Structure 1
Amino acid sequence: MQVSVESIGTLERRMEVQVPAARIEQAVDERLQRMSRTVRLKGFRPGKVPVKVVRQQFGQQVRQEVLGDVMQSSFAEAVVQEKLIPAAGPRIEPIDLAGGGGDLKYRAVFEIVPTIELAPAEQLQVERLTAEVTDADVDAMIQNLREQRPNYVSVEREARDTDRVTVDFEGSIDGVAFEGGKGENVPVVLGAGRMIADFEAGLQGVRSGEVKTIEVTFPENYQAADLAGKKAQFALTVKSVEERQLPELDDEFCKSYGIAAGGIERLREEVTDNMKRELTNALAARLKQQVMDGLLAANPLELPKSMVEIQVRDLQLDAGRRMGAQDASQLPPADGFQEPARRRVALTLLLGEIIRKAELQVDQAKVQERLQELTRQYPDSDQAMQQFRGNPQVLRQLEAMVLEGQVVDWVLERAQVSDKASSFKELMSFGT
């Protein structure tokens, strides 16, 4: 097999491959022989069809299949021979399809993975946040739990923040009603931010029984594109104004959160334990991001366009599934995924190089620890454990997570790490 490679860009390569005719003919003959043992043709017993007849009937079809297979397999052999690592699949252009018994010749255009010279990990500077769960943090969390279980009592006064206002409304634009613009007995909690800001602001100060019209401007990024940025008028009828009353911190309240005995003290213990777990996870996530950011800053790469395009498409499809998109026309624009896709590709390449250089192997003990953490979330943890252990996809995902964690540990052992005090509140608001 003859191979020639030409650089047509920093990462792009054009490779021409010539496969001897003998290899093609041998592959065709072998496939026809196999077919003769299984094919059924009228006038012949099963398994007794002469190869000559099979060749007459299926020769061209088999040759086309063989040519496709040989182009794929010979490309894989050629890149190994030339010590190239393709970033994605090639674009194959036939030159000579071995007509008349000649050699197969084709051209493959593809990108290669860049050569990576890692900056010394000892030069990386990583900021590690530290924090503890304080009594004030626990108090704030319990207050939040109270706010999740409010009671509402009717009042005869003007509505204000935290009140629940129940309204009938009908919206119009230039006097014309629009789809989704009408509602009856709709509860709105003032200050919760669940309605358009102008709509909620128009309910401040209203009283039960009041009738009024407000003007609302829909946000430019409003989910209904035909309403985005437009002004609308809403005719409102206020059905009721109710004041929020928070529950007492008593046994009944504790029972509503699954604390059957022990009262508020037991609730505080449960809340504290949960917050500590959340804090541990948040600190680890923030530290991991610091390491990844440091690696990206210290190791700028030229990225294969093909890898970025694949990652953009994956992110686009994931977002579409979450949005309930039915077809490609409903997917969010690809431009919005360029930066996260580039980050993912760069980190994939850098982490892969660290794994190779450091000769890291998946720590199976840590995989089992992750598996136990995962199954503890299920009522029947033993059954969940059996199911996950029998699911190769889940195990691969856990192994990837563990190996990524091992890379982070490897970097931290060598980097310049400085501690910085933070708080539970700051860490919980990170990324929101």
Structure 2
Amino acid sequence: MKSAVETLNPTRVRLSIEVPFEELKDSLDAAYKKINQQVTVKGFRKGKIPNRVIDQRFGRGAVLEEAVNDALPKFYTEAVNEGELNPLGQPEVDITELKDGELLAFTAEVDIRPSIEIPDYSGIEVEVDAVTVSDEDVEKAVEDLRGRFASTNPVERAAEDGDVVTIDLEAKVDGEVLEDGVAEGVSYTIGSGELLEGIDDAVKGLEAGGEATFTSQLKGGSAEGKDAEVTVKVTAVAARELPELDDDFAQMASEFDTLEELRADSRKRLENMKQYDQATQAQERVLDKLIELVEVPIPENLLADEVKTRKHNLEHHQLGQMGIDLAKYLEIQGKTEEEFDQETSEQAVKGIKTQFILDELVNKEKLNVNQEELTEHLMRRAQSSGMSPDQFAQAVVEGGQVPMLVGEVARGKALAVVVEAATVKDTNGELVELDDDEDETAETVEADAAAEGESAEDEAPKDAVEAK
């Protein structure tokens, strides 16, 4: 076999391949055998029809077509390996010459990973938010915890802010009661903002048995987005009683003996959360700076596939679970379809660039992924997906997604290397030292930036490389 590579642009090549006919022998034998098992000829047992009879009855062209389609993936793969190419997606194959007994010649156009030069990234500098936890932050955290231990007691008075009321609702649009616009026995905390706009003002001042009517735009249901006339009837009023902020509360709500110990733990938890947020912010900003430094040509077909995949996942998974379509989503977001398409394309470009750059860094820095790192990553992914580790691992193996997980871990490690070399300061001008969870945070940042990028890059399956 002979092959030559012609570069069409930085992300696409044309392979020209010539195969001596004798190298098709195995595929020709397989073609005759396959046809033998599929047809019957009077006077011959099934599977025992001579090749010459198959040629006479069904045509030599049918045999050649079967043999060529069987052989193309093998010779295409050999040419890719010989040219040391990294193909993306399926090739476009064209048979240019097929001389029975002499020669098979074909071309294959395919997108490839572009050659990327990683410049010195040690000079990257980024600024992140400072980690500050105020006394007010601590008190709010303690108050939130206190609220979870609140009790309610029925009262015979008008409803006030913070009370829990039991209400019946009836919504009308254009004077007609909606089929899904009636609800009874709904528990609502005044001021929580969890129901309809305007309901707080309507129920405040009402005692049990009182009712009021107000107008509000419906947030869901059959008349979502329409203005409705809502009648609310209060059937019960209960006051929320918060436990006293003392050592007894600390012992009831936590493992601590004193309120001061509880406050100190709340402060530490808030500091840890803000440190994690700070690390994530550092990763994101370093990644953005790195992308600015590297010139990355984007394969057009890969970009189109990535945009299509992102739109499909949004429409059929995320929005489907929310019960809305793309048009409604755009209305809620206040975006036109053109703005949405532009934003999706920009996100896809960033995802592809991220993956290409970090993969190149993995090679440059000779980074490897060990079993322990892969297992830890799998556990985190399982937790975020709501599946058990065993279920997630089984799904990954059955779906052939292990290489994808390995790639995520490796790219996370590559980004961590860049962050370690960068200068990170907070808004107070202080140098920031990131903790030992840097790799884990980097995996999350990389996965967010390059989300869904793997599927668009898969190499062509064997049966996709056929003559056209």
Task: Normalising by structure 2, report the TM-score.
Answer: 0.68
- Correspondence list, 1:210-221, <5 A: 210-218=210-218
In the aligned structure 1, how far is the partner of 2:263 from the partner of 2:32?
75
1:91 aligns to what SS in structure 2? strand
Select the residue among 333, 337, 343 that pairs with 2:350: 343
Residues 39 and 152 from structure 1, CA distance in 2 versus in 1: closer, same or farther, beyond 3 angstroms? same
Match of 1:52 in 2: 51
1:88 aligns to what SS in structure 2? strand
Which ranges in structure 2 are unaligned for 5 or more consecutive residues?
330-336, 430-447, 449-468
Q: Does 1:415 align with 2:422?
A: yes
Mean Cα displacement is larger for which, 383-392 or 117-126?
383-392
Match of 1:176 in 2: 176
1:87 aligns to what SS in structure 2? strand
Match of 2:209 in 1: 209
Q: Which amino acid aligns with 1:91?
A: E
CA RMSD across the alignment: 4.8
Q: Which amino acid aligns with 1:52?
A: N
Select the residue among 302, 306, 319 that pairs with 1:307: 302
CA deviation after TM superposition for structure 1 residue 358, in Å: 1.9
- Correspondence list, 1:23-102, <5 A: 23-30=23-30, 32=32, 49=48, 52=51, 63-95=64-96, 98=98, 100=100
CA offsets 1:222-265 (integer angstroms, 9 cap, x no match): 565x6454222222222233332223457886677574x85757
Residues 326 and 212 from structure 1, CA distance in 2 versus in 1: closer, same or farther, beyond 3 angstroms? closer
In the aligned structure 2, how far is the partner of 1:399 from the partner of 1:134?
41
1:418 aligns to what SS in structure 2? strand
Match of 1:145 in 2: 145
CA deviation after TM superposition for structure 1 residue 351, in Å: 0.5
Match of 1:162 in 2: 162
Task: Provide the aligned length of Structure 1 versus Structure 2.
Answer: 410
Match of 1:238 in 2: 234
In the aligned structure 1, how far is the partner of 2:380 from the partner of 2:170?
50
Match of 2:111 in 1: 111
CA deviation after TM superposition for structure 1 residue 121, in Å: 0.2
Q: Which amino acid aligns with 1:301?
A: V
Which ranges in structure 1 are unaligned for 5 or more consecutive residues?
378-382, 423-430
Q: Which amino acid aligns with 1:165?
A: V
CA deviation after TM superposition for structure 1 residue 170, in Å: 1.9
CA offsets 1:131-168 (integer angstroms, 9 cap, x no match): 26676544432321222333233345554443333322
In the aligned structure 2, how far is the partner of 1:339 from the partner of 1:67?
41
In the aligned structure 1, how far is the partner of 2:227 from the partner of 2:322?
30
Percent of counterpart pairs with the same letter? 24
Residues 180 and 161 from structure 1, CA distance in 2 versus in 1: closer, same or farther, beyond 3 angstroms? same
Residues 60 and 282 from structure 1, CA distance in 2 versus in 1: closer, same or farther, beyond 3 angstroms? farther
CA deviation after TM superposition for structure 1 residue 355, in Å: 1.3
Match of 2:411 in 1: 404
In the aligned structure 1, how far is the partner of 2:265 from the partner of 2:394?
30
Residues 368 and 181 from structure 1, CA distance in 2 versus in 1: closer, same or farther, beyond 3 angstroms? closer
Task: Normalising by structure 1, report the TM-score.
Answer: 0.72
